[in-house]
Structure 1
């Protein structure tokens, strides 16, 4: 009899849980240090990313703040649900490669979002983001890139454990909502989102494809 998907997910979450918890916390700490170091010390003056018609179509939405910060929970789900050490290390290497690729772009070709005439003090949640994360490190959006990368890996896991279609759709919707939130909070413009989605898709495809390479494919 096939193991029910809820039991399979619970088993995966319990596997290597301490390593996953400590590893994820350590990775995020190191990432934020590198991210803000690059943000504060770009190689040259940042270039402003132009806007598209899509930017005017997406209105400022203070409620998007909650969706925006949900990324840090969302990106923790895929490693938490990986079933073995080899796959976990494989995931860690590829998500590190994604981050390093984007950080290299931010440092060598720094970009920033346009300066907007908005009184951020009227939006406490959004002003918190603006105070912590300046308008640099814009293109590609690493927020979107990491969300898309995670979405592909979560889809892989959910498919493997035979999770219902509605759960897989929630995964897709959450990823899309995070992408929307980067524009609705005015942290990014459309070009940033498009580039971030492309980078996330590329690294996700390469990482998942390489699971099957070699004589001993890695089971995730």
Structure 2
């Protein structure tokens, strides 16, 4: 039975109204998220799990590490173990540019950027091994911080890949959010999250200023190098 014309019109109007309530930038982010999702999920998982064995192998087998000196900035930054969740959040943060890649070209660009940046840093770790000073840090047995200190030793310090990944991700995410017309508050959260991760590397005593600066420069360099040339920012 065909509904009365007034009901059909009302239903159509209600549907259109509901659709208009979703901001265009949010719809664009959703569209990006579901594009190539199985490939993004598998690729990001394999890349993350594959990174650690190589990283720790180099840490174990590289030569004698040069201990990096402390700067006045390092002495000013207090030990703040409560920032450990922020430090560990990198592994969720770095997945966002993958999730929000618009197409295969953008996904490949970010992935190759991460791979090249990692390779360069690993070469530095191998041929010029460095370590942070042996900070005296009291940790409660059985906590996440104690586990981190046991597993991720002071080696492989310069440049900080933790910082490089966060800065590179921030640059790419900023580009993606701008492309879909995301609001300023969301773009500010992106920068604040990356800044928090960078700061946390020193606050939990995993890095010092020298290797943070090295990681920052590396992340910015690859962020600029992977920028699409000659393309306007358009909603996707």
Return the TM-score normalized by structure 1.
Answer: 0.92
Q: Which residue in 1 is equivalent to 2:154?
A: 135
Q: Which residue in 2 is equivalent to 1:38?
A: 58
The structural deviation recorded for 1:26 is 0.6
What residue ranges of structure 2 are gaps of 5+ in the alignment? 1-19
CA contact (8 A) 1:139 1:196 kept: yes
Runs of 4+ in 1 over 2 A off after TM superposition: 117-125
Q: Which residue in 1 is equivalent to 2:45?
A: 25
Residue of 221, 229, 232 corresponding to 1:212: 229
What secondary structure, in the 3-state scheme, does the structure 1 residue paired with 2:64 have?
A: coil
1:16 aligned onto 2:40? no
Q: Which residue in 1 is equivalent to 2:7?
A: none
What residue ranges of structure 1 are gaps of 5+ in the alignment? none
The structural deviation recorded for 1:118 is 2.6
The equivalences for 1:65-214 within 5 A come to 65-121=84-140, 124-208=143-227, 211-212=228-229
Go from structure 1 to structure 2 and tell me whether the alpha carbon gap of 1:172 and 1:123 turns closer, same or farther (over 3 Å shift): farther
The structural deviation recorded for 1:14 is 0.4
Deviations 1:36-79 (A, max 9, x none): 1111111x200001111111111001111000000000000001
RMSD: 2.1
Go from structure 1 to structure 2 and tell me whether the alpha carbon gap of 1:122 and 1:56 turns closer, same or farther (over 3 Å shift): farther
Structure having the higher Rg: 2
Return the TM-score normalized by structure 2.
Answer: 0.86
Paired residues in the alignment total 215
- Mean Cα deviation higher: 53-62 or 66-75: 53-62
CA contact (8 A) 1:94 1:203 kept: yes
The structural deviation recorded for 1:93 is 1.0
The structural deviation recorded for 1:127 is 1.0
CA contact (8 A) 1:144 1:178 kept: yes
Go from structure 1 to structure 2 and tell me whether the alpha carbon gap of 1:48 and 1:31 turns closer, same or farther (over 3 Å shift): same
Q: State the distance in 2 between where 1:76 and 1:99 align.
A: 16
What secondary structure, in the 3-state scheme, does the structure 2 residue paired with 1:120 have?
A: coil
